[in-house]
Structure 1
Amino acid sequence: MTRSDTNVTLLAEQIKDGARLALPSENSGVPVAVVRALIARGARDLRLVGGPTGGFAIDLLVGAGCVASVEAAGVSLGPRGLAPRFCAAVEAGEIEMIDSTCPATHAGFVAGEKRLPFMAVRGVFGSDMLKNRSDWTFIDNPFPPHDPVVVVPAILPDVTALHAPLADEAGNVWVGNRRELKTMARAAKQVLVTVEKIHPGNLVKDSAMAPGLLTAPYIDLIALAPRGAAPTALPPDYGPDDAMLDSYANAAKTREGFDGWLADFLGPDGAA
């Protein structure tokens, strides 16, 4: 049964060390408040899956020493360039990078959502991806034109964590048109959500809101966390905090700069 009477720290405690944790792409409901709580707790050996890419949140977790591996189609700070702590960790062999593509990641989540063992994708042949992904293979299409297609395994996260604009008292979460969040959630064993606000009543009964809902049976815990995606954006509620993201991109170029920025981010007691 969905609970919405918890706080971010207690919610983050559900994410155990070593968990396979799926996180949305930037501007798609990144649960920064949860990431902050994980770092404050000293989480370790997380196996992150981008949905399908990653950015600030993944870089922050890698820099804080919380990560064993990252599976994603890419990790960057967008217009601010490369994700510095992620790049440094990969180059130093401190984390495993499991390279993917956006269509392959989406296909893996769809297979997980439907509890299928795999999903077929195109567009991989001719690249080096198959050399680096021993868990990807190809089969002959059983239908005309009987051409080969790549198959990728289902992605079944231990936890999908996300931030959304709204939940209701019945435990439904409104994610709007971000349908990939529904797929990532339905593929996971456990779904943890932070939200901007709690709406009285049951949004399933609202015909305008119901199509954008991730319904309560798929959700385990909800915590209220206003501006819980900041400094990343949560459209349409708020845009990115450009000044804060700029300061992070500059500071994180060095280990010392990152450590100082992170200490300020966590606060004097390292609290989330």
Structure 2
Amino acid sequence: MVEAEGKISSALCSSSSPVRRFRAQKPRRPENGRRRAARRPGGRVDIGAYDHFELELLALPDAVARIPDGATVALGRPPALGLVRELIRQGRRDLDLVGVPTGDIAIELLIAAGCARSLHSSGVDLGEHGQAPAFGRAVESGALRVTDSTCPALLMALQAGASGIPWTPVPGLLGSDLMTRRPDLRVLEGMAIVPALRPQFALVQARRADPQGDAVIARGEQVIPAAYIDVLTVAPSEDAGAATERYLESISVHTR
């Protein structure tokens, strides 16, 4: 798990937060077949078996300007709403969205604004606020093409994309409607296999970031699954942006 401490140089709201844009590197093979968190040279940290990223500090409009119409965009949870609102402001269209592992308010806003062409996810909801009405209307009218999935299948497809393999076996899919509704799923030696998923862009929300390129996704043992999901969102993607809640002069990173 990763925690961070540092002197706050500024507290930035989502509408003006700096954005980290980074290119995913080839995953590093874990030692002894186990994932681990380890300090990297220059203060960067591995989470799981992934190398650190090359980061660049950009303003929100400049970061989003690099995402063209028709791009495949994966969105983590909690959502990077500053980046999502900027996508809407710049009038992006025909985006192929990936909700990891489910969609939330970010997906709903992009659909309602007419930015989305398709969605690959295991569901969309607004949590305690109920169902997502724009998503429901778009599906019923046929305006949104949906690739249905399950949480494990979607996460393992991203893991396959990060690992550089074309497909991966997923338990629990045989006998389900997905096997008949999705022609890209196959059966091999009695096991369902799903194709690897490699989004062009990934958008995540960071808790803290510093000028050295360190970014902290989550804090506290209770959010380890959420942090790992965001890592899987970023790892197979060609480029990614992380909007930060707080911009620090430095981050002291601890692993445990």
Query: TM-score, structure 2 length as denominator?
Result: 0.74
**Matches of 1:164 and 1:29 in 2, distance apart?**
9
> What is the one-letter code of the residue matched to 1:123?
G
**Matches of 2:145 and 2:204 in 1, distance apart?**
23
Aligned to 1:66: 115
> What is the one-letter code of the residue matched to 1:7?
A
Q: Secondary structure of 1:2's partner? A: strand
**Matches of 1:128 and 1:172 in 2, distance apart?**
43
Q: Secondary structure of 2:98's partner? A: strand
User: Which residue, out of 81, 93, 99, partners 2:148?
Assistant: 99
**Matches of 1:166 and 1:99 in 2, distance apart?**
33
**Matches of 1:47 and 1:179 in 2, distance apart?**
23
Contact 1:29 1:164 (8 Å CA) reproduced: no
Q: Deviations over 1:214-268 (max 9, x none)?
A: xxxxxxxxxxxxxxxxxxxxxxxxxxxxxxxxxxxxxxxxxxxxxxxxxxxxxxx
Q: CA deviation at 1:202?
A: 5.4
Structure 2 gap ranges (5+): 1-53, 219-223
Contact 2:74 2:233 (8 Å CA) reproduced: yes
The answer as to 2:81 corresponding to 1:29 is no
Q: CA deviation at 1:200?
A: 2.2
Q: CA deviation at 1:169?
A: 1.8
**Matches of 2:205 and 2:67 in 1, distance apart?**
15
Contact 1:113 1:184 (8 Å CA) reproduced: no
Post-superposition, which runs of at least 4 consecutive aligned residues in structure 1 deviate over 4 A? Answer: none
Number of corresponding residues: 196
Aligned to 1:110: 159
**Matches of 1:21 and 1:58 in 2, distance apart?**
10
Q: How does 1:229-240 map to 2 (within 5 A)?
A: none
Q: Among the aligned pairs, what percent are the same residue?
A: 33
User: Which residue, out of 198, 220, 233, partners 1:156?
Assistant: 198
Q: CA deviation at 1:41?
A: 0.8
| Larger RCO (alpha carbons 8 Å, 6+ apart) | 2
The answer as to 2:69 corresponding to 1:17 is yes
Q: Secondary structure of 1:34's partner? A: helix
The answer as to 2:49 corresponding to 1:7 is no
Q: CA RMSD in A?
A: 1.3
Determine which structure has the larger helix proportion and give its number. 1
Determine which structure has the larger strand proportion and give its number. 2
Query: TM-score, structure 1 length as denominator?
Result: 0.69
**Matches of 1:187 and 1:160 in 2, distance apart?**
9
> What is the one-letter code of the residue matched to 2:61?
T
